[in-house]
Amino acid sequence: MFSMVVFSAQAVPEGRVFGLDTQTLIGIGIQLLNGIVLAVALGFILYKPVKEFLQRRAKRIQGRISEADAAMAKANALIAEYERKIEAIDKERLAIREAAGLEAAEERKKILAEARKEANEIRKRALAKIAEDRKRLEKGIRLHIIEVASLMAQKYIAQSMDAKTQERLLEEALAQLEAAQWQN
């Protein structure tokens, strides 16, 4: 490259850096003309294909945008539909929950009523059994008292009583037992 600069500098007349003579101007004009002819020729040759390529590309891009818009609209419609379905499911869930709550409350009432009824029956049976046991115990106690009283009376009579006194005491004891029996 340096040698080329040196060679160019040797070709230029002395005292000038750049030789602007007719040969240089003709060369510049020819190159300019070649550039214009090339630009016009390429413009005629490539203008339509480039223009068509750009139009196809624009149509393809526009088609993709339209497809994307359609897909977005479809997605929005699906979102709206799913939101409606979710709302319907929520309403149904609340209705089922409320119905289950009411059913549970009714079941609880039934169970409580059955439990009360059963408790009352158990209580009645227990009271009846207690009354029966009481009667049996009272009867047993009376018999025991009679036995004890008769044993005491026998011992007492055997020690110091005559027949007349024995008879009077027996009648008094029987009267007392009868009076005790009628009071209960």
- CA dist 62 → 54, 74, 79, 142 (Å): 12, 18, 25, 117
Structure confidence at residue 42 (pLDDT): 87
Tokens for 100?
């289950």
Structure confidence at residue 169 (pLDDT): 76
CB 157 within 8 A of CB 166: yes
Amino acid code (one letter) for 53: F
Structure confidence at residue 84 (pLDDT): 95
CA 131, CA 138: separation in Å to the nearest integer? 10
Structure confidence at residue 18 (pLDDT): 64
- pTM (2 decimals)? 0.39
Longest C-alpha distance within the chain, in Å?
Answer: 193
Structure confidence at residue 9 (pLDDT): 47
Say whether 107 sits in a helix, a strand or coil.
Answer: helix
Structure confidence at residue 90 (pLDDT): 93
Domain count, the chain: 1
Write out the residue range of the structural domain in which residue 17 sits. 2-183
- Mean pLDDT of successive 10-residue segments in the chain (184 residues)? 51 61 87 94 87 93 94 94 94 93 92 93 92 88 82 71 76 80 57
